[in-house]
Structure 1
């Protein structure tokens, strides 16, 4: 039986120039806001923290020095 990846969160390994899919799915969840991000829309993530971000602003705030 084939399993659909629709409506399932993916698990990714984030790298400097992309990401590798560890567990197939159709989206990830923003590490700050909890917003759902479709894989085709994923543009921002942290290699160090291994988490995705929904927008450039969320990414900048999360990665800003404290």
Structure 2
């Protein structure tokens, strides 16, 4: 049986210069907006929080001190 990764969230380990796929999938979910981010378009994440962000603006918003 072939298992497709489409429409399944991936589980990633975020590192300073990239990420490692722990569980295959086609997207991750933005920690701020809840938007689906296709793996191939993922550009912003927090190593410390192990969270993904859909845009630079959302990453700045999430990581700025309150």
List structure 1 runs of 4+ shifted beyond 2 angstroms. Answer: none
Per the normalisation by structure 1, the TM-score is: 0.97
Distance 2:65 2:48 in 1: 14
SS of the residue aligned with 1:32?
coil
Give the corresponding residue for 1:39.
39
1:63 aligns with 2:63: yes
How many residue pairs are counted as aligned between the two chains? 66
Quote the RMSD (CA, aligned, Å).
0.5
**Aligned-pair distance for 1:65?**
1.7
How far off its partner does 1:29 sit?
0.3
Q: How does 1:1-66 map to 2 (within 5 A)?
A: 1-66=1-66
Residue 48 of structure 1 aligns to a residue in which SS? coil
- Unpaired stretches in structure 1, ≥5 consecutive residues: none
**Structure 2: gaps of 5 or more residues:** none
